[in-house]
Structure 1
Amino acid sequence: MVDKVADTIIRGIRSGTFVPGQHLVEPDLMHRIGISRGSLREALKHLSVAGIVTLTRFRGAYIAALDRKTTLDLLDVLEPLARLAARLAARNCDTKEKRLALRAAAFAVEEANKSLNRGKYLEQRRNFYTVLIGIGGNCELERAMPLTRADLFRAQAEARKSEKQRLRHISGYAKVTKAVTEQDVGAADRAVQSHFGGTRQTIRELPEDVFPGVLP
């Protein structure tokens, strides 16, 4: 039941049904998911520990909203894990099937970006990392990477990006894919490093109201 609630909320964040800072109305969620109040509250406690939901006394649950510093801190945690994923994938991308899978994942990210469908884009971005990690063969990496938490700042920032910022970000996936499919470990590592550098630049450029922080 906890997983069911988590899946509903996480998919809602990616699709735009739920947005950072939004108050979660318990009766609505109970009806949507088909669970009891007790089960819902237990699930929300787990999501609070994961940093997806903020629980406030007397006011209930909110989708977590990240401030700019927290977002940059999160990128500092995510980057070395993503670089490890790319290096492992480059070492192990040794079949036509693996190369085709990663190229297809990168193409899907690009197409979702062109469609301006935020939900589809966030889903395909997550799938890209799933494929990358799968090629690398380390089954613990996806568990360790805070990808769901990263969806929060993506949801906050996506609608406010300029076309230049959007293109800067999307080009990173193609560069990582090229390096990995060519089995160039060093280039794969550098491509991810550059990709995260571009993301940090965008985060610093966006206006203050994009990152209001956790609401009381």
Structure 2
Amino acid sequence: MAKPIFFLTIQVIILAVTCVHAKSDKELTSKLLCSQCSACDVSKCPASDAYPHLTAYDDSLIAGSLQSDFVSFKDRRVYAVSDIKGGESETYNAYYGWQSTSGSASGYHRFSNYMDKCSGQNYLTVHEHGVVELRSLHSLKDLGQADWKSINPPPKYNHRNFRFWVNRSTGKCLTVFGGKKQKRKVGVAKCKFNGSKLSQLFAFRFHYHKAFCCCGLHND
């Protein structure tokens, strides 16, 4: 009699683990995103440290349209999603990963969002009127709109290795606008290099727990 009870116990444990795993995967599934992606072009997700996510000084995630359920597909703007700390959100699915490529020999870089490959290769750009959004290079009037340069704050204002990101075209710094009761949009404003404007400090972090590289596939 003990033997059947033993096997029954094992089956219950396996079922419990399966249910927990299924629930976890379900919570990490995005209907909004998966309706836009046709298929994966990789057999597995890239290494986590290859596609870090961009955070503001308060550690909120900087999300683009195809990164999150927080915004709709047609919205090409970039936002700071306040609900996300350390790479996961209890409210919104978030898919992140920014790849940096050299924009020029003078130290500027271009940032493409890994998840945005579903709609083509788009870069973090700023419009001549200060609108920050994901756009393709061929749609830009000036390629400098996609070029960003990193500048460190003065040593006494070294906020946990966060930096200023200056746009080559506008000469202004990436900045988070808005409060807790509204979507905080990312734009540009005149730089405050003394470190007094915390909304202009950003960092690329590798501390997330799960990173999506396509629909239904993620690493740990």
Q: Which has the larger radius of gyration?
A: 2
- Is TM-score (shorter-chain normalized) higher than 0.5? no
TM-score for both structures, normalised by structure 1: 0.24
TM-score for both structures, normalised by structure 2: 0.24
Higher helix share: 1
Higher strand share: 2
